[in-house]
Chains A and B, each alone.
Chain A
């Protein structure tokens, strides 16, 4: 395990990069998802159509294709960012589509009478959604959102393809340099577990806390 112990600092920096990538992308993806879900249940056809198109296109494209498109294709349109911001943008755009689907699933679980009651006392669509339906919907999708967060943590590894040095990039360099692949793999696995295991627990606790007791 020398290779891991000797390079703890390097692995630590990779871990921090992975965490930064994941958290930043998660915040943006959450708002994209909220917006998409809102559009998809809105009574406004152009918004519904636009959001559905976004979700269908992004869901069926491999993440790496989005990375390549943004990093190698978009510069031809004059859109060019350094590697780290590019990775955050791509991960947010990709994860946002899935967050949107998860939240929409939650919106569908809220009993129809809730929205009807809210409307009958004169609330408009944005009010119905923001005050009555969304708060109930979000608490029912904590588990899927937790899964998406963990999937995002793992997906942030694809940023390696545009040479962001996060955990997987670290593992690649350690393997090539020190030729001790097995200890490196275990070290990196532990680092990923340090991220995914607590977030799994946290989302589990959140789910229990927010669960509706009837």
Chain B
């Protein structure tokens, strides 16, 4: 926040506070480590058991299920989301209305409510699928609504002159949309879309609640089996952090590149979720 150099007094104050803060942070870490040690949670076998080949394989297969669910759901969400955005901008009122109702309804519900409905409700309606399918359905339906909103915001963020110029050279509505508007809008959406896809990967973990053996559920099972739930879940958290952090970095890079090239900021979407709500910050740093 301060660009100017600190004076001698302020610098001394900062040094003193830094020393105190350093000691405080170190003390917190030390207390945490002591707690682990006191409760016997630092015992090496509780940690090393996570890395024997059978366990690693068990967990890795869970991670594969996570990635499979995320990729499949992401693919359908992008596809349906694109159609929804076009639908909401269509000239026919019933199509606009239907697409709008879909987006507003599914965006208002928590993803978990949809997942519970899919897993416990659909079978009662005679639709029996696997748990993986239920997770994919819930993720795809929810994220298509969110992505639809991102796409729409991206398309609307384009200057009116673009479509006016397209009509002026004789293009029809759909020609203008597909040849002129959408290709330009796509570039502006990329960071928001990547950010939402990272959220989607995190959200696949909700499948654990309905018993899908994805990464988190497998971590939990391993914790029950070897009686090291703390270590197993910390390991699961670490893998998620590495994965999502790498992808968020990618999103940030894309954002910066697109800023340099087109001097247009990324679009903002209201009510899309916690990651997108702070996406603005992502753009600035």
Q: Which residues of A contact B (CB under 8 A)?
A: 41, 43-47, 49-50, 56-57, 59-66, 68-69, 72-74, 76-78, 95, 98, 101-102, 104-105, 107-108, 112, 115-116, 119, 124-125, 128-129, 133, 143-144, 147-148, 150-152, 154-158, 160-161, 167-168, 171-172, 175-176, 179-182, 184-185, 188-189, 192-193, 196-197, 200
Question: Number of contact residues on B: which range applies?
Answer: 35 or more
* B22 in contact (CB, < 8 A): yes
* B47 in contact (CB, < 8 A): no
Q: Considering the chains assembled together, what is the distance between the CA atoms of A66 and B238 in angstroms?
A: 11
A102, A116, A157: the one within 8 Å of B281 (CB): A102
Residues A185 and B1 in contact, CB atoms below 8 Å apart: no
Given contacts A60-B245, A98-B278, A157-B112, 14 further A-B contacts (CB under 8 A): A45-B18, A62-B206, A76-B41, A77-B36, A98-B277, A102-B281, A108-B284, A124-B13, A144-B277, A151-B271, A152-B274, A157-B113, A158-B112, A189-B105
Known: A116-B2, A175-B117. A64 touches B209 (CB 8 A): yes
| One of B87-95, B172-180, B226-234 at the interface | B226-234
Known: A43-B6, A181-B124. A73 touches B18 (CB 8 A): no
Residues B41 and A77 in contact, CB atoms below 8 Å apart: yes
Q: Is the interface of A mostly helix, strand, loop or mixed?
A: helix
What are the 5 tightest A-B residue pairs by CB atom distance, in nearest-first order? A181-B121, A105-B281, A157-B110, A147-B277, A60-B244
Q: Considering the chains assembled together, what is the distance between the CA atoms of A184 and B124 in angstroms?
A: 12
Residues B278 and A144 in contact, CB atoms below 8 Å apart: yes
* B108 in contact (CB, < 8 A): yes
Residues B230 and A74 in contact, CB atoms below 8 Å apart: yes
